Amino acid sequence: MKKMLKLLCVAAVAFVLGGCNPISKIKLHGVTNVSLPASSTSVLGSDLGEALTTLLSQTETRTVVLSVDAENELGLNVRAVDAKFTLSDGKKVYATAMLAEPVMLRHKTRSTVQVPMNVEIEGGMLSMLALARKVIQSPESLTVQGEVVGKCMGVKKKKTLAPQPLSKFMSNFAKK
């Protein structure tokens, strides 16, 4: 009887831990828009200088809202509870973006999800100008890397984005 109880406990734990295991069933099809909070004005496709000026003019927290075309093929709702991305040139980190609040991706759906990200610019105005120059002149020298922590059925899973050139990241994620 004890062996049967142990077997059932192990099976229950495996079922719960495996509940949102197939991370490949969560798909990000692209960032369709980047805007500022309380504004539908897109930063994508706009003048870079204007977008940077608007972002820098926010005094408290610099926040952008990403409209992400995402798909959840799992039969469970998944929440992104934490995310952090960095933009660097290999020597220096220029910016860090962190998830401002948890985001829910409903089960068995494909939809555009609004993802608020708090952006911290490292090093103040001079660093921001250097970043703007690098973005314009040599975006291939900048890399993006990060991680997202998702949660379903009380279990957290982490997905890591390996460092990749900004130009590749934008071509993969800013297609629309």
CB-based contact 5:14 (threshold 8 Å): no
Query: Rounded to 10 degrees, what is the CA torsion of 160, 102, 150, 159?
Result: -10
Write down the domain spans for the chain.
Answer: 22-173
Q: pTM to 2 decimals?
A: 0.72
Q: Average of pLDDT values for 7-32?
A: 58
Separation CA 101–CA 94 (nearest Å): 22
What's the topology of domain 22-173? Immunoglobulin-like (2.60.40)
Separation CA 47–CA 173 (nearest Å): 19
pLDDT at 7 over 60: no
Longest dimension (CA), the chain: 71
pLDDT digits (tens, 9 = 90+) for 112-144: 999 999 988 887 777 777 777 787 787 788 888
